[in-house]
Chains A and B, each alone.
Chain A
Amino acid sequence: MTGTGSKALLPRRKRRRRSGWRGFLYIAPAMALVILFFVMPVIFTGWMSLHNWPLMGGTRWIGFNNYVRMFHDARFMSALRFTAYYTVIVTIAIFAVAFPLAIFVEKQRRFVSAYRTIIFLPVVIGLATASLLWVWLANVDSGFIGPALKALGWVDKSPNLLATFDSAFLTIIIMVVWKIAGFTMIILLTGLQAIPADLTEAARIDGAGRWQRFRHVTLPLMRKTIALALIISVTGSILAFDQFYIMTSGGPQNRMISVVYYIFNQSFVSFNLGYGAALSIALLAILVAISIVQLWLLRVGEERP
Chain B
Amino acid sequence: MSDTGVVLTDIRKSFGNLEVIHGIDLTITEGSFVVFVGPSGCGKSTLLRMIAGLEEVTDGEIEIKGRNVTDLDPSDRGIAMVFQSYALYPHMSVRENMAFGLKMARLPEPEIDSRVKAASAILKIDPLLDRRPGQLSGGQRQRVAIGRAIVRKPDVFLFDEPLSNLDAELRVSMRIEIARLHRELGNTMIYVTHDQTEAMTLADMIVVLRDGRVEQTGSPREIYENPANTFVAGFIGSPRMNLLNAEWTGDGSIRIGNSRIAVQIDDNRMAPGGKLTLGVRPEHMNVVVDTEGTLRAKVDFYEYLGGTQFLYCQLEDGQAVTAEYRSSVPVEAGDILHFRWQADDLRFFDAAGLRLKGAC
Task: Tell me if A198 and B101 are in contact (CB < 8 A).
Answer: no
Choice from B91, B104, B148 contacting A207 with Cβ under 8 Å: B104
Task: Tell me if B90 and A205 are in contact (CB < 8 A).
Answer: no
Distance between A20 CB and nearest chain B CB, rounded to angstroms? 34
Distance between A58 CB and nearest chain B CB, rounded to angstroms? 60
CB-CB nearest 4 A-B residue pairs: A207-B75, A206-B101, A198-B87, A202-B87
Q: What is the size, in residues, of chain A's interface with B at 8 Å between Cβ atoms?
A: 18
* Complex-state Cα separation, A221 to B104, whole angstroms: 18
Choice from B83, B90, B132 contacting A221 with Cβ under 8 Å: B90
Is residue B74 within 8 Å, beta carbon to beta carbon, of the partner chain? yes
Residues of chain B within 8 A (CB-CB) of A239 are none
Q: Mark A189-215, 1 if CB is under 8 A from B, else 0.
A: 000000010110111111110001000
Residues of chain B within 8 A (CB-CB) of A202 are 81, 83, 87-89, 148
Task: Tell me if A217 and B89 are in contact (CB < 8 A).
Answer: yes
Distance between A202 CB and nearest chain B CB, rounded to angstroms? 4
Given A204-B73, A204-B74, A208-B104: A199 and B87 interface contact (C-beta under 8 Å): yes
Residues of chain A within 8 A (CB-CB) of B85 are 196, 198
Is residue B52 within 8 Å, beta carbon to beta carbon, of the partner chain? yes
Choice from B54, B76, B100, B148 contacting A201 with Cβ under 8 Å: B54
Choice from B73, B79, B87, B132 contacting A196 with Cβ under 8 Å: B87
Closest to B152 in A: A206
Closest to B80 in A: A205
Given A199-B87, A202-B87: A207 and B54 interface contact (C-beta under 8 Å): no
Residues of chain B within 8 A (CB-CB) of A203 are 89, 100
Distance between A69 CB and nearest chain B CB, rounded to angstroms? 48
Choice from A196, A201, A208, A220 contacting B91 with Cβ under 8 Å: A220
Residue ranges of A at the interface with B (Cβ–Cβ < 8 Å): 196, 198-199, 201-208, 212, 216-217, 220-221, 303-304
Distance between A99 CB and nearest chain B CB, rounded to angstroms? 19
Task: Tell me if A303 and B100 are in contact (CB < 8 A).
Answer: no
Interface residues of B in 54-100 (CB under 8 A from A): 54, 73-76, 79-81, 83, 85, 87-91, 100
Choice from B75, B83, B90, B132 contacting A206 with Cβ under 8 Å: B75
Distance between B142 CB and nearest chain A CB, rounded to angstroms? 13
Residues of chain B within 8 A (CB-CB) of A221 are 90-91
* Complex-state Cα separation, A203 to B152, whole angstroms: 13
Is residue B1 within 8 Å, beta carbon to beta carbon, of the partner chain? no
Q: What is the size, in residues, of chain B's interface with A at 8 Å between Cβ atoms?
A: 25
Q: Mark B131-150, 1 if CB is under 8 A from A, else 0.
A: 01010000000000000100
Is residue B105 within 8 Å, beta carbon to beta carbon, of the partner chain? yes
Choice from A205, A207, A217, A304 contacting B81 with Cβ under 8 Å: A205
Distance between B215 CB and nearest chain A CB, rounded to angstroms? 28
* Complex-state Cα separation, A212 to B74, whole angstroms: 15
Residues of chain A within 8 A (CB-CB) of B104 are 206-208, 212
* Complex-state Cα separation, A82 to B81, whole angstroms: 53
Residues of chain A within 8 A (CB-CB) of B53 are 204-205
* Complex-state Cα separation, A221 to B90, whole angstroms: 8
Residues of chain B within 8 A (CB-CB) of A212 are 104
Residues of chain B within 8 A (CB-CB) of A198 are 83, 85, 87
Interface residues of B in 6-61 (CB under 8 A from A): 52-54
- Can you add 4 more A-B contacts, CB < 8 Å, to A201-B74, A304-B91? A196-B87, A198-B83, A205-B75, A207-B105
* Complex-state Cα separation, A304 to B130, whole angstroms: 13
* Complex-state Cα separation, A206 to B104, whole angstroms: 7
Q: Mark B99-126, 1 if CB is under 8 A from A, else 0.
A: 0110011000000000000000000000
User: Can you list 25 A-B contacts (CB < 8 A)?
Assistant: A198-B83, A198-B87, A199-B89, A201-B83, A202-B83, A202-B89, A203-B100, A204-B53, A205-B52, A205-B53, A205-B74, A206-B148, A207-B76, A207-B101, A207-B105, A208-B75, A208-B101, A208-B104, A212-B104, A217-B89, A220-B91, A221-B90, A303-B90, A303-B91, A303-B132
